[in-house]
Structure 1
Amino acid sequence: MHPHLIRRWLREDWLLVLLLALLPVLLVMVPVAPTRLAALVDWKTIAALAGLMVLSRGLEVSGLVDRAGRALIIRLRTERRLAAALVVFAALLSAVVTNDVALFVTVPLTLGLARATALPVGRLVIFQALAVNAGSAASPAGNPQNLFLWQVSGAGFGEFLLAMLPLAVAMLAILLALVPLGFSARPVTVSRTDSPLPLQQALGTVSLVAYPVFLGLVNAGFAVAAAVVLLGLFALAFRQVLRGLDWPLLLIFVLMFVDLGLLAHLPAIATAVPAALELPGGAYMLGAVLSQIMSNVPAAIFLAPFTDDWRALAWGVSVGGFGLAIGSLANLIALRLARQKGLWIRFHLWSLPMLALAFAAGALLRAS
């Protein structure tokens, strides 16, 4: 392989590379028979994630979401209203089609609008990244950590949704309250945007109809069978959707389960984590803190075996998506899509206060 391609792979799939590199080290420290490694993986979560990736990609490729976003945004008249609309649109979209897919829709849409009128693109992308972290927290299917915790908790879809909704609403309200600080009320005129994606009605209809059916089957405990049927359907009718999927992401999650499962078996870890969970704040505090170190998805997978309080853990890792950019993979996706110089520093000027405000709001809600 050419050195340039190797460097690009290391830069773009650094998490996959890190997990692969850690695996042999952990296997030396925690000897486990190869046949037992598969048992460390929550295959229901992997299957549910695969199915949601297919359906989210189907909605994206169909052009339905793109046209809905354009229809909403084109009617706005001020920079502040545009920012608020993008925040709400990204948050609601992330609760349905996952946070990363929402960014793949809204960030290119924002870049297209910026080619038609002067906009603070970097700040808009930052607020969209924060918005998908807030909005996706509401739904069991909104982000990978919720999907995992929903599966291991045994809670129903509605039960999980109701447990997460107060925090998600509070975080979104805080973010909307910050919009007037970040955006002016100056008028904007969008004279032209990039051409919308071609509308594929059949793909959009199938994806929309299959979405609630798939979630219902996952909720009923048939995640693996439902994912197999869904993949077969799309392989026959919409093969282009499967070709565009982020397949390495599934491998990343399999490796996360294996690596973090092995890590949890280390004697020092097995002693330290339960002790940390007894500290004030418990799983809520530890989930938020560990998210700043290892990102919120690995933090959820790592801590889940140590606590039965899935609600506190889900709240903690949701809040932990703010703060440092590594707190959520959605942050990294947004910054990478924008490709603006100095955006990493500007991101933290908003995300760190958001972490403090969201954590305080969550603590007050938990105490009430």
Structure 2
Amino acid sequence: MNDSAHARTDWRAELRAEWLLLLFAAVTIALALLDPQPLAKYRHWLQLPTLAGLMGLLIAIQGIRDSGLVQHAAVAVVAKAHSLRSLGLLLVTATALLSMVLTNDVSLFLIVPLTLAIGSMSNLPVLRMVVLEALAVNAGSTLSPIGNPQNLLLWQHSSLPFLHFAAAMLPAAAVMFALVAAFTLLWLPRDRVALTPDRIDGRVASNRLGAWSMVALAGMVLLMEYHQAPLGATLLLGLFALLARSSLARIDWPLLLTFAAIFLGLGHFAELPLMRDALDRLDFSQPLTLYASGIVASQLISNVPATVLLLDRAPDPIALAVAVNVGGFGVAIGSLANLIALRLAKQPHGLRRLHLVSIPFLLVCAPMVYLAWRWLG
């Protein structure tokens, strides 16, 4: 194959890999042509602070990966695990706990690279583990008012004390995590952890890069907490451009474009008159109606836009919080954390495997969570 033909093949392969970006770009353009809106609307839908936060996290985590700290941590974790099931349960539990305090997307940025590093030196089934971690962040972040964007929004809207909100979400979160933990034990093989000695390299390539990348990550999370994500992303971009330009080159920039297209497309879709007319026909004072609507809306437009759409219609913010958190399971678009996990992992057939697990998981989880919430909430 000559160079030009090889270049065309590579170009087509890269284009196919970005099918989600192309799909939502097409949806965004089609909606803009069919239902033109003022420029201010598009700026609102674009969610620039969220995109800035995502960019800052991508930069900091890339520095940590390039430093060798992830590989070093992977060796330490593997050394403490004897079976694949115990290793999987350790990773799932860590993912859920981190998502309570660092939010669901930040915990995935930490855990998925660690999982990939462990998989490179052992017989851990990486794709299965990443799917389980995507389930675990949905479960763990459900408990905390700051665990995910929809909880943060509903916590502030409800004006409930932090611990009261968490207590109200506890029955739902407990059922979700118990199901994830049980599925982890059932799905992972019984085998012992088998290491590949020639692939074990726990050396830290650059302590300096690792140290200030960790500081950058902590600073980025702190600035996101105080709604200063654009400032943090700008500072990190400048810092890495000066000190670690090669790390910037390895960042998954198309992921940012994909999320921008998703935000624009879903934001516009959620405000279509057809969508609002359908909601006007529903009685949200009925708990089951609100619960089912939150789940269905999450499957169609993702759980954060679904929360915004239903916020002023829902008489009970906790009921809505339970619904949209459950709605994070199911189709990949239900929670953007699912897409982040798959994108970080870059495993073949990842989307298909996620759906084969997550959709049945939703069908089992939804009625159990509803019963637990109604009886114990």
TM-score by length of 1: 0.77
The alpha-carbon distance between structure 1 residues 314 and 197, as it changes in their structure 2 partners (threshold 3 A), is farther
Partner amino acid, structure 1, of 2:30: V
Alignment partners' CA distance in 2, 1:134 and 1:123: 17
* The one of 228, 232, 253 aligned to 1:247: 253
The alpha-carbon distance between structure 1 residues 337 and 170, as it changes in their structure 2 partners (threshold 3 A), is same
CA contact (8 A) 2:64 2:70 kept: yes
* The one of 289, 298, 305 aligned to 1:301: 305
Check if 1:359 corresponds to 2:363: no
Instruction: Give the share of equivalent positions with the same residue, in percent.
Output: 33
Can you list the C-alpha shifts for 1:248-277, whole angstroms capped at 9, x where unaligned?
A: 222223333332333234221221134457
Q: CA RMSD in A?
A: 3.8
Partner amino acid, structure 2, of 1:59: I
Give the structure 2 partner of residue 323 of structure 1: 330
Alignment partners' CA distance in 1, 2:70 and 2:173: 22
CA contact (8 A) 1:62 1:203 kept: yes
CA contact (8 A) 1:107 1:334 kept: no
Structure 1: runs of 5 or more not aligned:
none
Give the structure 1 partner of residue 182 of structure 2: 177
CA contact (8 A) 1:45 1:147 kept: no
Structure 2: runs of 5 or more not aligned:
none
Check if 1:209 corresponds to 2:218: no
* The one of 248, 267, 270 aligned to 2:276: 270
Deviation at 1:17, TM superposition (A): 0.5
Give the structure 2 partner of residue 103 of structure 1: 112
Can you list the C-alpha shifts for 1:106-160, whole angstroms capped at 9, x where unaligned?
A: 134224302xxxx656644543443344345566886xxx34764797579x949
TM-score by length of 2: 0.75
* The one of 324, 327, 348 aligned to 1:339: 348
- Within a 5 Å distance, the mapping from 1:23-102 to structure 2 comes to 23-34=28-39, 36-92=41-97, 96=102, 97-99=106-108, 102=111
Give the structure 2 partner of residue 256 of structure 1: 262
CA contact (8 A) 1:133 1:321 kept: yes
Secondary structure of the 1:206 match is: helix
Deviation at 1:244, TM superposition (A): 2.0
Partner amino acid, structure 2, of 1:237: L
The alpha-carbon distance between structure 1 residues 334 and 102, as it changes in their structure 2 partners (threshold 3 A), is same
- Within a 5 Å distance, the mapping from 1:162-201 to structure 2 comes to 162=166, 166=170, 167-183=172-188, 185-190=190-195, 192=197, 193-196=199-202, 198-201=204-207
Give the structure 2 partner of residue 13 of structure 1: 18
CA contact (8 A) 1:300 1:314 kept: no
Can you list the C-alpha shifts for 1:80-128, whole angstroms capped at 9, x where unaligned?
A: 32332233344456664342553233134224302xxxx6566445434
The alpha-carbon distance between structure 1 residues 202 and 364, as it changes in their structure 2 partners (threshold 3 A), is farther
Can you list the C-alpha shifts for 1:196-254, whole angstroms capped at 9, x where unaligned?
A: 47442222222333334333333333332233223222222232332222222222233
Alignment partners' CA distance in 2, 1:25 and 1:293: 17
Give the structure 2 partner of residue 131 of structure 1: 136
The alpha-carbon distance between structure 1 residues 292 and 66, as it changes in their structure 2 partners (threshold 3 A), is farther
Partner amino acid, structure 2, of 1:272: A
The alpha-carbon distance between structure 1 residues 216 and 11, as it changes in their structure 2 partners (threshold 3 A), is same
Alignment partners' CA distance in 2, 1:275 and 1:176: 39
Alignment partners' CA distance in 2, 1:57 and 1:314: 32
